[in-house]
Amino acid sequence: WRDVGTIDSYYEANMDLLAPVPVFNLYNDKWPVFTSHESHPPAKVSRGAGGEPSFVDGSLLSNGSIVSGGHVEGSIVAPDVIIHHDSHVTGSILFPGVKVGPGARINRCIVDKNVVIPPGVRIGYDLEADRQRFTVSDRGIVVIPKGYVL
């Protein structure tokens, strides 16, 4: 399908899945995807605790993910991810178990398993600051490693 040997190529291959008709089309009946499935409830998009609406556009939400008053655009969200109210996730890949706190902003990030993004944190907007604590690719993709505590 394509080389994913660098952070940037991995990111681009995943973002390609969000195209209206991607090269690797997960919805093509003639090209079935064989995988094992964990038992998760359907993805849930709901209002936040204070009644704020959620917004999701151009994204893939896996079963077991919850968007509760958050904003998700152009992103891939794995199972057991929770995106809280007033948070924004844009152009990012969130692995299983990620929690995005209220008011957090995540832009062009790959967030590995079980990372908790605290309320109000901004990542992917100031790449020089991000380079001090994370890996940042040549094209500005910020990688937050598995289990990282912010």
DSSP string, 22-36: -SS-TT-TTSPPP--
pTM confidence score: 0.91
Order of strands across the sheet that contains 109-111: 60-61, 76-77, 93-94, 109-111, 142-144, 135-136
Residue 8, burial from CB neighbour count under 10 angstroms (0-12, 13-18, 19+): middle
Q: Confidence band (pLDDT; 50, 70, 90) for 105?
A: very high
pLDDT in tens, 61-90: 999 999 999 999 999 999 999 999 999 999
pLDDT over threshold 80, residue 150: yes
Q: Confidence band (pLDDT; 50, 70, 90) for 117?
A: very high
Domains of the chain (ranges; CATH) run 40-144 (2.160.10.10)
Mean pLDDT of the chain: 92
pLDDT over threshold 90, residue 25: no
Other CB atoms within 10 Å distance of the CB of residue 142:
24
State residue 28's pLDDT score.
Answer: 67
State residue 27's pLDDT score.
Answer: 63
